[in-house]
Amino acid sequence: MDKKATANENLRLLPKIPRPEMEPLIAGYVNYAAKFKYFRYIMLGVLAVIVGYNFFVAGKRFPIDELNTIKTVMASIMGAFVVALLVLAGVFFSTLRKLKKALNTSAEKHGLDKKEFRKEFHSFVKMTIGGPGLR
């Protein structure tokens, strides 16, 4: 309870924004944070491929044709992961840019300092929702 009281005391700019205007900002952050988990999935996939390769292929002898096929398949799989990561990064940063633009617009509309408002919004969503934040 003491933590909540100190958190509410630190919020001096967010209460100036009306609730109906704040809800789309929070929904945008939830959307942004939900996309962040896919980065973890891709990284776990890369790790699984590397461990699988080291466990099943590395250190064993194969005929040259079979070895070239294995290398081609591994390069294709890793290439697919890189492409997926780049596409996801584009979508991720696009969503982040839209959210920051909405925050700046809301701050300008109410005559608030943009950086302070974004910093306070970052603290608020990290405390209440979690996720990567807005840095």
Decide if 123 is inside a domain. Answer: yes
- Check residue 18 and give its pLDDT: 86
Decide if 134 is inside a domain. Answer: no
User: What are 48-91's pLDDT values in tens digits?
Assistant: 999 988 888 888 888 989 989 999 999 999 999 999 999 999 99
Decide if 3 is inside a domain. Answer: no
Written as six digits, the tokens of 26 are 């929070």
3 or 73, greater pLDDT? 73
Structural domain range at position 98: 16-128
Decide if 135 is inside a domain. Answer: no
Decide if 109 is inside a domain. Answer: yes
- Check residue 101 and give its pLDDT: 93
Q: Nearest Cα to 96, choosing from 9, 45, 31?
A: 31
| CA 82/CA 78 separation, integer angstroms | 6
Q: Give the number of domains in the chain.
A: 1
CA 134 to chain CA centroid, nearest Å: 9
7 or 61, greater pLDDT? 61
How much of the chain, in percent, has pLDDT values that exceed 90?
A: 32
CA distances (Å), origin 124, targets 26, 63, 84, 134: 10, 59, 31, 11
Q: Whose structure tokens read 């390769």?
A: 53
Q: How many CB atoms lie within 10 A of CB 14?
A: 16
- Average model confidence (pLDDT) across the chain: 86
